[in-house]
Amino acid sequence: MISRAQMYFAFMISHFGGGIIISGSNNNKNNIISGADGDNNNHNSAGKSADSSTAVRSGDVTDRQIIKDIVKIGVPSFFETLFTTVSNIIDSKMVSAMGVTAISAVSVTAPPRLFILSVFIAMNTVITSLVAKCVGENDRETANRHFDSIIKIVIVLSIIFSIISVALARPIMFICSHQMDTLDASVTYFRIVMAALTFNTVYMTINAALRGCGHTGLTFTSNVIFCFVNIFFNYLLIEGHMGFPALGIAGAAIATAAGWAAAFVFMVIMGCKKDLFVNIPYCISRKYKISREGTEEIRTMSRSTITDGLATRVSILIIGSIVARIGSYQMAVYSVGTHLMSVNQALGTGLMTSGVVLIGRCFGAKDKALLNRYKKQIIRLSYFTAVPLGLAIILGGRWFYGFFSSDPEFIHMGAVSCIFIGVITLSQTLKFSYTGCLQGVGAMKEVMRASIISFAGVNLGVLALTVFVLDMGIWGAWTGSLASQTFQAFMLWRYTKKLDAFKE
């Protein structure tokens, strides 16, 4: 008899294909919904799912198939996040060739950019959840109407933010840094990348809609294209190679904009494929108009996600300013540790995406039994993957920090930091998994509450106590992160127990 652990391991390594099973439709039949690579021969304009095929009963769905579905959706999303993290490290390394001032100038632009992007990320969360629900309902018309409304809103808002950011780049950068030696360089970088903001936001929104359909392979490909184009143009334009001029900071900004433009073109081309459940030609042919009634569900969900995103971003800025007070040496140790946290985040993002897509489909199909089976397996996979990863981080802490420095004290502090990071891994992964489950059923307010309380309440409170009162330095910073992640995971778990959507 094959053990459950062996079954998990086998699928994590070898299974990427096959159909994704959901139950239900508008007439309560059960359908297998194919993934990004499935055959879409039953496509029609009457609202029938473009991704449906063989009918089965919910009881016929095995745990093996459920795990296969989770892996098929989650693995591309995991590698998408991981690849982006590695690309960012490479990008930073290439910028560092211009010196510390250049690194500082680029870093200063991050907070305002991420603050603006948090609005669009919030709307992307909404469209992924809504499209996944519509797939479960086989309601192609509503899915495309939601997509059409959000993409129009995104285009208008991104143009507005882009114009404001370019016009007010100098005062914005001065407020963010107060450092005159980096001001001109940061203004140059900020103006160029914000001028190209629409490329970034539109391709992200198309990604989000297709992610809701389960096409995570396409979203992964778009991010790979962005990363490669960005790195390639960094090589050409920062220092000047192959006959191109050495543009320095401006070259790095142009490379980022070029990466966004390339990903934008790719996703528009993919979005025009008529066999996709959500596609651009379908929206154009319907000539949808934005109305107050038609966007009620979008506005209701977006209020929570945007509030969550903005509040979290402000909290992170405050937390960053507190952590910066622990001293440059300990801050360096902490910064290196955040790279490991990014790996944890990649794992959590993969499971979260699986939750949003698969549970959203079951929620739309009104199949609570299958919905809860997916939730149970996602949480089990969280333990199965996070515990070994946490142990690996703890055991490999000295080696990892030794890669960055040969200083014994630095390595020792890093090894102790990895104990915190290893423990945080489980809480962080569970947090992402429960978030995906809740977003799949549209419980955006619950996710918002947990996020705001954990970041603005628990993390800030523990940090203030441990850093300012107890003078724990870096250990206070890690304690704050551990407390925040654990409390947030607990709150989200409680919500999944209380909501009717998860009651069998």
Dump pLDDT digits (tens) for 212-226.
Answer: 888 888 888 988 899
Mean pLDDT of all residues in 109-120: 83
Position with higher pLDDT, 453 vs 325: 453
Whether residues 57 and 118 fall in one domain = no
Whether residues 72 and 62 fall in one domain = no
What is the per-residue pLDDT across 399-457, written as a single tens digit (0 to 9) for each? Answer: 888 877 788 888 898 899 999 999 999 999 999 999 999 988 888 888 888 988 888 88
Asked if 301 and 440 touch (Cβ cutoff 8 Å), the reply is: no
The predicted structure's pLDDT at residue 213: 87
SS3 55: strand
Helix count and strand count (H, E) for the chain: 19, 3
Which pLDDT band, with edges at 50, 70 and 90, does 205 fall under?
very high
Asked if 244 and 236 touch (Cβ cutoff 8 Å), the reply is: yes
User: What tokens were used for 413?
Assistant: 């502090």
Q: Which residues contact 17 (CB under 8 A, 6 or more apart)?
A: 35, 37, 72
Last residue of a domain, one of 17, 47, 67: 67
Whether residues 172 and 251 fall in one domain = yes
Rounded CA gap, 175 and 291, in Å? 38
The single residue listed with the structure tokens 């109305």 is 291
Whether residues 45 and 168 fall in one domain = no
**pLDDT for 307 beyond 90:** no
The predicted structure's pLDDT at residue 32: 35
Whether residues 301 and 426 fall in one domain = yes
**Can you give the residue range of the structural domain that contains 54?**
4-67
Total domains in the chain come to: 2
Q: Which residues contact 231 (CB under 8 A, 6 or more apart)?
A: 87, 90, 91, 94, 255
What is the per-residue pLDDT across 350-391, written as a single tens digit (0 to 9) for each? Answer: 888 888 888 988 888 888 888 899 999 999 999 999 999 999
Whether residues 149 and 219 fall in one domain = yes
Q: For residue 135, give Cα distances in angstroms to 105, 140, 358, 365.
A: 44, 7, 10, 8
Residue 203's CB: how many other CB atoms inside 10 A? 26
**pLDDT for 38 beyond 70:** no
Q: Which residues contact 484 (CB under 8 A, 6 or more apart)?
A: 454, 455, 458, 459, 462
In sign, the C-alpha dihedral spanning 376, 378, 384, 386 is: negative
The predicted structure's pLDDT at residue 4: 43
What is the per-residue pLDDT across 143-185, written as a single tens digit (0 to 9) for each? Answer: 899 899 999 999 999 999 999 999 998 888 887 765 666 778 8
Last residue of a domain, one of 31, 52, 67: 67
Max CA separation in the chain (angstroms): 68
**pLDDT for 260 beyond 60:** yes
Whether residues 48 and 108 fall in one domain = no
The single residue listed with the structure tokens 């940090």 is 463
Whether residues 110 and 35 fall in one domain = no
Nearest CA to 257 out of 375, 133, 166 is that of 166
The single residue listed with the structure tokens 């992200």 is 204
Whether residues 120 and 215 fall in one domain = yes
Which pLDDT band, with edges at 50, 70 and 90, does 7 fall under?
very low
**pLDDT for 290 beyond 70:** yes
Which pLDDT band, with edges at 50, 70 and 90, does 15 fall under?
very low
Distance of CA 228 to the CA centre of its chain: 19
Whether residues 131 and 13 fall in one domain = no
Mean pLDDT of all residues in 17-33: 38
The predicted structure's pLDDT at residue 13: 36
The single residue listed with the structure tokens 């029938």 is 48
The predicted structure's pLDDT at residue 321: 67
Whether residues 86 and 15 fall in one domain = no
The predicted structure's pLDDT at residue 178: 59
The separation between the first and the last C-alpha atoms of the chain, rounded to the nearest angstrom, is 29
Query: What b-and-e string marks burial along 165-197, b requiring 16 or more CB atoms within 10 Å of the CB?
Result: beeebeebbeebbeeeebbebbbbbbbbbbbbb
**pLDDT for 59 beyond 60:** no
Whether residues 393 and 485 fall in one domain = yes
